[in-house]
Homo-oligomer: A and B are copies of this chain.
Amino acid sequence: LPAQLSAKVLGLKRLTREDIIGWQRILHSAGWGGPSWPKEFGGTGWSSIEQHIFDEECSLAGAPPIISFGSRMVGPVIMAFGNRAQQEHFLPRILNGTDWWCQGYSEPGAGSDLASLTTRAERRGSVYSVNGQKTWNTLGHLADWIFCLVRTDSEARPQAGISFLLIDMRTPGITVRPIPLIDGEHEVNEIWFDNVEVPIANLIGEENKGWTYAKYLLTHERVNIAQVGQARRELKRLQQLAARQLEGGQRLLDNVRFRHRLAEVEIDLMALELTVMRVLSAEKKRRDPGPESSVLKIRGSEIQQALSELNMQALGHYALPWIPTALDADWHGSPAGAEVWAPLTGRYFNQRKTSIFSGSNEIQRNIIAQRILGL
Q: What residues make up the interface of A, taking CB atoms closer than 8 Å to B?
A: 256-257, 260
Contacts and interface: CB of A to CB of B under 8 A. Distances in A.
Nearest to A255: B256
Nearest to A256: B256
A184 B256 CA distance: 39
Contacts of A260: 257
A125 B60 CA distance: 85
Number of copies of this chain that the complex holds: 2
A interface, by DSSP: helix, strand, loop or mixed?
helix
A38 to B, nearest CB: 48
A362 to B, nearest CB: 15
A261 to B, nearest CB: 10
A260 B258 CA distance: 11
A260 B259 CA distance: 13
A256 B260 CA distance: 10
A260 B261 CA distance: 12
4 contacts: A256-B256, A256-B257, A257-B257, A257-B260
A21 to B, nearest CB: 47
Contacts of A256: 256-257
A53 B247 CA distance: 42
Closest 4 CB pairs of A and B: A256-B256, A257-B260, A256-B257, A257-B257
A265 to B, nearest CB: 15
Nearest to A260: B257
A267 to B, nearest CB: 14
Nearest to A257: B260
A204 to B, nearest CB: 40
A256 B259 CA distance: 11
A257 B255 CA distance: 10
A217 to B, nearest CB: 34
Contacts of A257: 256-257, 260
A322 to B, nearest CB: 31
A256 B257 CA distance: 7
A356 to B, nearest CB: 20
